[in-house]
């Protein structure tokens, strides 16, 4: 309990305040606390005796902090990972604020809220390398990497994801940040990647290709089996100067899983972990590697 973060001077920027799953905080390994101004999001990954005292302490702190208007709890250990508001009232359309950009988040919906804080280094890298480039954003979800690319001056971004609802949020994310002419640089394909190679190949090559799949999404994608399928077809999409941001968030697979898959490519760099996501088992954390042909 003494390891809980101090709740003051939170500011506008979204960030992780406590990363219990990194195992640096004994007794809090099942807890994550995120700041999405003006909301604290507390995620429990297990039912523990200290869950209620943790919330009591955070609620007490929130009453003395004018920056916090609500505390939302998500219980990932329960079916469908429900969310509930335990303090105050969350805004109707909450936003994540990061580096001058805004992203919609869904604090009223179960499962994922639509914005992954640990991907900040990926967004920073894309934004810094996208000027004048054509970008293919595979498994784009709510398109935060596309927003970063457009903010960095990308000529074109093609976002592909099976979930049309996520892509609709992605379109709104662009509209939050850019004028209509700039938004037109982004397009959206609600397709199954493995059934859309022909369409993607016709528009190739791409200067930057982002591969950020779920580790396990039922029948649609299973990293240990399906990531290799992407690699077999990747030469259809790349040019000699293409850059590939390859990501994987699967604690049971270490970095060697990606480097083995990309054995025929040149590894340029591994992106650092996001601030606040320190982990005693770094190989279990989100992995983001930059390759080129």
CATH number at residue 146: 3.40.50.150
User: Rounded mean pLDDT of 171-178?
Assistant: 98
Of 41, 71, 104, the one marking the end of a domain is: 104
Residue 52 and residue 164 in one domain = no
Residue 76 is predicted with a pLDDT of: 94
Query: 206: which residues sit within 8 A by CB, 6+ positions away?
Result: 134, 135, 136, 158, 237, 238, 239, 242
Is 2 a member of any domain?
Answer: no
Residue 67 is predicted with a pLDDT of: 96
CATH for 97: 3.30.750.80
Residue 282 and residue 166 in one domain = yes
Query: How far is it, in rounded angstroms, from Cα 51 to Cα 97?
Result: 28
User: Rounded mean pLDDT of 29-42?
Assistant: 97
pLDDT at 216 over 90: no
pLDDT at 2 over 70: no
Is 36 a member of any domain?
Answer: yes
Which of 63 and 252 is assigned the larger pLDDT? 63
pLDDT at 279 over 80: yes
Q: How many CB atoms lie within 10 A of CB 205?
A: 17
Residue 22 and residue 83 in one domain = yes
User: Rounded mean pLDDT of 10-21?
Assistant: 96
110 pLDDT band (50/70/90 cuts)?
low
Is 277 a member of any domain?
Answer: yes
Residue 151 and residue 243 in one domain = yes
Residue 78 and residue 134 in one domain = no
9 pLDDT band (50/70/90 cuts)?
confident
Residue 136 and residue 267 in one domain = yes
Residue 126 and residue 99 in one domain = no
Is 280 a member of any domain?
Answer: yes
Residue 131 and residue 74 in one domain = no
Residue 282 is predicted with a pLDDT of: 83
Is 240 a member of any domain?
Answer: yes
pLDDT at 39 over 90: yes
Show the beta-strand stretches assigned E in the chain.
15-19, 31-36, 39-44, 70-75, 83-88, 95-98, 101-104, 134-138, 156-160, 186-189, 206-211, 216-217, 221-222, 238-248, 266-270, 287-292
Residue 222 is predicted with a pLDDT of: 81
pLDDT at 40 over 60: yes
> For a pLDDT cut of 90, what percent of the chain falls above it?
85
pLDDT at 281 over 60: yes
Provide the mean pLDDT of the chain: 94
User: Rounded mean pLDDT of 122-141?
Assistant: 98
Residue 208 and residue 272 in one domain = yes
Residue 188 and residue 284 in one domain = yes
Residue 97 and residue 181 in one domain = no
pLDDT at 244 over 90: yes
Of 78, 104, 130, the one marking the end of a domain is: 104
pLDDT at 231 over 80: yes
Q: Which of 15-29, 71-85, 107-121, 164-178 has the lowest mean pLDDT?
A: 107-121
Is 5 a member of any domain?
Answer: no
Residue 223 is predicted with a pLDDT of: 86
User: Rounded mean pLDDT of 207-226?
Assistant: 85
Structural domain of residue 279, as residue ranges? 117-292
Domain tally, the chain:
2
Of 80, 104, 128, the one marking the end of a domain is: 104
User: Rounded mean pLDDT of 95-104?
Assistant: 98
Residue 218 is predicted with a pLDDT of: 66
Residue 159 and residue 99 in one domain = no
Query: How far is it, in rounded angstroms, from Cα 243 to Cα 239?
Result: 9
pTM value is: 0.95
pLDDT at 73 over 60: yes
């Amino acid at each position: 309990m003494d390891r809980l973060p101090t709740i003051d001077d939170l500011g506008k920027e979204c960030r992780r305040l406590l990363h219990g799953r990194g195992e640096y905080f004994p007794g809090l390994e099942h807890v994550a606390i995120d700041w999405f101004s003006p909301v604290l999001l507390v995620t429990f990954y297990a039912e523990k005796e200290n869950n209620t005292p943790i919330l009591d302490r955070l609620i007490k702190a929130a009453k003395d902090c004018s920056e916090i208007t609500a505390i939302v709890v998500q219980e990932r250990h329960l079916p469908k990972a429900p969310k509930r508001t335990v303090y105050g009232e969350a805004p109707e359309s909450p936003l994540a604020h990061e580096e001058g950009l805004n992203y919609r988040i869904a604090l009223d919906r179960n499962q994922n809220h639509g914005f992954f804080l640990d991907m900040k280094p990926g967004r920073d890298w894309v934004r810094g390398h996208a000027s004048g480039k054509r970008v293919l954003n595979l498994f784009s979800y709510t398109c935060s990497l596309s927003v970063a690319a457009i903010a960095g001056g990308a000529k074109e971004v093609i976002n592909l994801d099976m979930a049309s609802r996520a892509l609709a949020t992605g379109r709104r994310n662009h509209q939050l940040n850019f004028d209509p002419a700039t938004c037109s640089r982004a397009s959206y394909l609600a397709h199954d990647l493995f059934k859309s190679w022909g369409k993607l190949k016709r528009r190739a090559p791409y200067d930057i290709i982002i591969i950020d799949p779920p580790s396990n999404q039922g029948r649609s994608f299973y990293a240990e089996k399906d990531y290799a399928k992407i690699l077999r077809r990747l030469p259809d999409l790349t040019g000699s100067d293409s850059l590939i941001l390859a990501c994987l968030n699967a604690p049971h697979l270490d970095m060697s899983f990606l480097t083995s898959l990309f054995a025929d490519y040149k590894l340029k760099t591994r992106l650092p972990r996001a601030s606040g996501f320190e982990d005693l088992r770094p190989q279990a954390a989100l992995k983001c590697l930059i390759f080129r042909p």
